[in-house]
Amino acid sequence: MKIGLFGATMGVNSRPGQLAETARLAEDAGLDSLWAGEHVVLPDPRVAPSPMEPGDPAVDPIVGLTWAAAATSRIRLATGIVILPQRNPVVLAKQLASLDVLSEGRLIFGVGAGYLEPEFRAVGADFAHRGAVTDEFLDALNHLWYEKHPAYHGRFVDFAGIDAHPRPTQQPVPLVIGGHSPPAFRRAVARAHGWFGFGLDRDGTARCLEGLRRAASEVERPSGFGAVEITVASRGRLTAERVEAFAELGVDRLVALHAFDADRDTVLETIETAHRALHGG
């Protein structure tokens, strides 16, 4: 079982010194990955299903993970997740390739289709067609990263006669799809190396894994991708027993998740308990 840490760029970790300290301590503790989520804006006042208060700080995940990369040398750096249809895919391809190059190939690219309509409206993104936009933007990123002469002509993005370097160090960049819906499960099976579930307990994880199994009977998985790597961010204190319980379900990576408003001591305690769980304590 791999163990990661979520919230690397949120709350107290939005401060430069604390973000760097958290990243270094997580690496020293033997954790395999740092996970950074995003919300460009949040509804004010807070309305369901927003997971955060509008005043909760959250550094841009690509900027924050680049800062973490400079403070570390081994730990993987994961977007968990980028809300893809809110981004310009051509600009995003450059940003992510830059992070992968500067971190010497440590990026895990996690994406989701999003679910907060006020956030989409504020950034001028297409909420109604967000699933189709997500799929097309993934295609565009693949062309920009892996084609000798990138070109793509779609409904939502169109380019040709251009190029961008450096390309990502990793060929390919590991792609993870986040989300708990049937379309997200199908997208993970059909397009990605892995799936990311957020804020799940054991029962919720079991339901999502059943959804992934159903998706595997509905869509074709690319040859050579292997099994879908399962990553789950779960609230609650990590113990060896909890790690074993998730492992029995088929989870490959368990990500420790503390409260968005956690203070420094809580973050450090989360890292320490994750370290003990990793080593059977």
Number of domains in the chain: 1
pLDDT value of position 145: 98
CATH of the domain at 274: 3.20.20.30
pLDDT value of position 258: 87
Q: How many CA atoms lie within 13 A of 235 on its CB side?
A: 8
How far, in Å, CA of 179 to CA of 54, rounded?
A: 22
How far, in Å, CA of 73 to CA of 65, rounded?
A: 12
pLDDT value of position 67: 98
Q: Residue 182 is part of which domain span? A: 2-278
Residue with tokens 């391809």, as numbered in its chain: 93
pTM, two decimal places: 0.97
Q: Which residues of the chain have pLDDT under 70?
A: 281
pLDDT value of position 126: 98
pLDDT value of position 33: 98
How far, in Å, CA of 198 to CA of 57, rounded?
A: 19
Cα 142 from chain centroid? 17
CA separation (Å) from 16 to 8, 19, 140, 180? 11, 5, 33, 32
Query: Which amino acid is it at 273?
Result: T
pLDDT value of position 281: 67
Residues 22, 97: contact at Cβ < 8 Å? no
